[in-house]
A and B are shown apart, each in its own frame.
Chain A
Amino acid sequence: MGRLLVRRLGGLATTLLLSSLVIFGSLYLAPGSPENVLFGNRMPTAAARAAARHRLHLDQPLPVRYWDWLTGVLHGDLGTSMVTGQPVADRIGAGLSTTVLLVAMTMVLVVVVGLAMGLAAALLPGRVDAAVSTLTSVSVTVPPFVASTLLISVFAVRMGWFPASGLGEGLGGRIDGLVLPACAMAVLSCGFLGRVTRNAVREQLEREHVQTALVRGLPRLVVLRTHVLRNALAPIVTAVGLLTAGTFASTLVVESAFAVPGIGQLTIQSVAQKDFPVVQAVALLLVGAFVVCNAASDLVQAVVDPRLRETGSTS
């Protein structure tokens, strides 16, 4: 178990390092020169341009710039925004808590509704199963941007239950404003998790060891909890990990649609404004969220299923 943890942490660091390279490199290859952002529509003199390039260290070779940036990041210095002149860390910090709250709300919804649907379908064959299956097969075809449009037009514009864009004051106001965006991201994921749960539980219900537990006179609920659900947890945890990572990515679209001032919106804005230091930082942050989600789900799996621990330490 300990070894698995160390290996996962090592892998995590490697992935982050590699992706930082890719992110830095791809921005370097992107068309347009970063300093142009500073001048806007004005045509700078050659001297002014050179001065700007020097100030931004753009006159240094790529490896040196990468190294400077990386050491900066490791010391918590993400650079300064080229658009606003604020430290990047401040711009990100302002949106981070909102995005994390949004993702958390989404995943709570997904886990509660998805698990409930999957369990109902698995444990109640026949009509309930058929109804849930129809529901999940529809909902997995509704991507967040479609769901956003639908939810805004129905619940915000027509019913006026929730704000169509922006967030209110205080935690209550923020949660109120995040309900629709969270729902928009949850629709597809609920369907997906519902299916995964149903299939995993069905598969476990048919296992011989479940019969052993029943024939020993254990109460049905205990058998469900300690054998069926417990063993079905591995695929469910994997799915939740993947969906959480995917939700971070979906915030790009959904935060823009609902004008939620989070990391997703910041990313889209910064890309549009070619605010390279900010783009680099948020991209790295998103990759980090991805990698952490996957590593966490792997670790939880190893806790849940000792057989994975085995192969983890022998391979």
Chain B
Amino acid sequence: MSTEPLLELSSLTVDFATEDGGSRTLLAGLDLTLAPGEALGLVGESGSGKSMTVRAITRLLPPAATARGAIRFEGRDVASMDAAALRAYRDGGVGLIFQDPRAHINPTKRIGAFLTEALRHNRGLGRGEALARAEAVLAEVGIDDPARRLRQYPQEVSGGMLQRVMIASVLLAEPRLILADEPTTALDVTIQREVVAILDRLRRERGMGMVFITHDLDLALAVCGQVAVMYAGRIVELRSAESLHERAAHPYTRGLLGSRPAIDARAPRLTAIPGRPVSAFEAGPGCAFAPRCAFATRACESEPPQLVPFEGGLVRCARVEEIHAERTDKRTSKEATA
């Protein structure tokens, strides 16, 4: 067994050409590695570049955007694939689940046609067989009366059901890697969990890798082995879900955990991160998060921090050791007085 990674991003940078001839950096040097069958969470606020990352991975960037650095899928360089190789990579290599199924499914075609078109065009399956497979997968994603659904149009079913249809369409192609870009943000809270649970179970059963994008750090921790927290087009913390859950290192990550509604009484409810998230091109010369960070010093504003090893992961914070030493000190001194 080779231990070749399924997906490898090295120094992935995406620049966007603006109308006035300038250029904006949207992603500023991303390094990520994903082993086959593993799930990686990509977490961050709006504008941090999560969608740009999956677009770059699938070579679906808008025409004005250019990617630099390397994206390797099973060792092959994605940027240098020719049309045929790219099609093969998109058919069975990666599968992309979009956030808004309503916009991402052709409204003039029946659900059956949507689910089977790739099987028929790419795999040469007959209509009957393709429909039979689609029906089976619809049942697996928890849709009842799948035969009837196949004959319906997208506007005749609910958003939650349509997202299951989208998930089914990706599962049908049996990709080695699923890219799920906020698959549940457009759905009702009650349906969100169900849909994530189905996606999580089915991809595990099939041994598919997954990049799971969300604003919700807790959700990412629940379904992913590794979590990358992004801020302003950079990774600020990359840790195993377990250790991150145990102890978030970066002040931004801690803010994300704090800004969730406190479900259990153990974690006292903290305030949300003050200020507004910035995109990569809006960031200053130093740490992009410094203006919103409670721990920032003058040096943070001017010196860009590097990713440094921390508890088995990586953290992009110049003061991470100090901050954690303080916390550990407090904790030990509390224990001592008790």
Contact of B90 among A215, A222, A227 (CB under 8 A): A215
A57 at the interface (CB under 8 A from B): no
Contact of A307 among B60, B92, B107 (CB under 8 A): B107
B132 at the interface (CB under 8 A from A): no
Asked if B155 and A307 make an inter-chain contact with CB atoms under 8 angstroms apart, the answer reads yes
Instruction: Tell which of A27-35, A206-214, A292-300 binds the partner.
Output: A206-214
B1-29 CB contact bits vs A (8 Å, 1 = yes)? Answer: 00000000000000000000000000000
* Minimum distance in angstroms from A230 CB to a CB of chain B: 7
Question: How far is it, in angstroms, between the C-alpha of A209 and the C-alpha of B173 when the chains are bound?
Answer: 17
Q: What are 21 A-B pairs at a CB distance below 8 A?
A: A209-B104, A211-B104, A212-B98, A212-B105, A212-B106, A214-B90, A215-B60, A216-B90, A216-B95, A216-B169, A217-B88, A217-B90, A217-B91, A218-B87, A218-B122, A231-B106, A231-B108, A307-B108, A307-B153, A307-B155, A310-B155
Q: Which A residues are CB-close (under 8 A) to B94?
A: 215
Q: Which of A104-154 contact B (CB under 8 A)?
A: none
Question: How far is it, in angstroms, between the C-alpha of A222 and the C-alpha of B98 when the chains are bound?
Answer: 21
Q: Chain A residues in contact with chain B, CB under 8 A?
A: 207-209, 211-220, 222, 226-227, 230-231, 304-307, 310
Question: How far is it, in angstroms, between the C-alpha of A96 and the C-alpha of B90 when the chains are bound?
Answer: 55
A211, A213, A216, most chain B CB atoms within 10 A: A216
Question: How far is it, in angstroms, between the C-alpha of A227 and the C-alpha of B155 when the chains are bound?
Answer: 17
- What's the count of A-B pairs with C-beta under 8 Å? 70
Asked if A306 and B90 make an inter-chain contact with CB atoms under 8 angstroms apart, the answer reads no
| A215 touching B108 in the complex, CB below 8 Å, given contacts A208-B98, A307-B155 | no
Asked if B106 and A227 make an inter-chain contact with CB atoms under 8 angstroms apart, the answer reads yes
Q: Which of B64-86 contact A (CB under 8 A)?
A: 83, 86
Nearest chain-B residue to A308 (Cβ)? B108
Q: Which B residues are CB-close (under 8 A) to A307?
A: 107-108, 153, 155
* Minimum distance in angstroms from B82 CB to a CB of chain A: 13
Q: Which A residues are CB-close (under 8 A) to B117?
A: 213, 216, 218, 226
Question: Which 8 residue pairs spanning A and B have beta carbons closest together?
Answer: A217-B91, A217-B90, A208-B103, A217-B87, A209-B106, A216-B118, A212-B104, A208-B104
B58 at the interface (CB under 8 A from A): yes
Question: How far is it, in angstroms, between the C-alpha of A214 and the C-alpha of B104 when the chains are bound?
Answer: 11
* Minimum distance in angstroms from A147 CB to a CB of chain B: 36
Question: How far is it, in angstroms, between the C-alpha of A153 and the C-alpha of B89 when the chains are bound?
Answer: 59
Q: Chain B residues in contact with chain A, CB under 8 A?
A: 58, 60, 83, 86-92, 94-96, 98, 100, 103-108, 117-118, 121-122, 153, 155, 169, 173
Nearest chain-B residue to A310 (Cβ)? B155
**Prevailing SS type, chain A contact patch:** helix
Contact of A215 among B58, B92, B103 (CB under 8 A): B58
* Minimum distance in angstroms from B159 CB to a CB of chain A: 15
Nearest chain-B residue to A304 (Cβ)? B108
Q: Which A residues are CB-close (under 8 A) to B121?
A: 218-219, 222
Nearest chain-A residue to B152 (Cβ)? A306
Contact of A213 among B106, B107, B173 (CB under 8 A): B106
Asked if A217 and B100 make an inter-chain contact with CB atoms under 8 angstroms apart, the answer reads no
Question: How far is it, in angstroms, between the C-alpha of A307 and the C-alpha of B154 when the chains are bound?
Answer: 10
Q: Which B residues are CB-close (under 8 A) to A305?
A: 108
A217, A231, A305, A307, most chain B CB atoms within 10 A: A217
Asked if B118 and A218 make an inter-chain contact with CB atoms under 8 angstroms apart, the answer reads yes
* Known contacts A215-B96, A217-B88, A230-B108; 9 further A-B pairs (Cβ under 8 A): A207-B103, A209-B103, A211-B104, A212-B98, A216-B90, A216-B169, A217-B173, A218-B91, A231-B108
Contact of A217 among B104, B106, B122 (CB under 8 A): B122
Nearest chain-A residue to B170 (Cβ)? A216
Nearest chain-B residue to A207 (Cβ)? B103
Q: Which B residues are CB-close (under 8 A) to A209?
A: 103-107
Nearest chain-B residue to A206 (Cβ)? B62
Question: How far is it, in angstroms, between the C-alpha of A7 and the C-alpha of B70 when the chains are bound?
Answer: 60
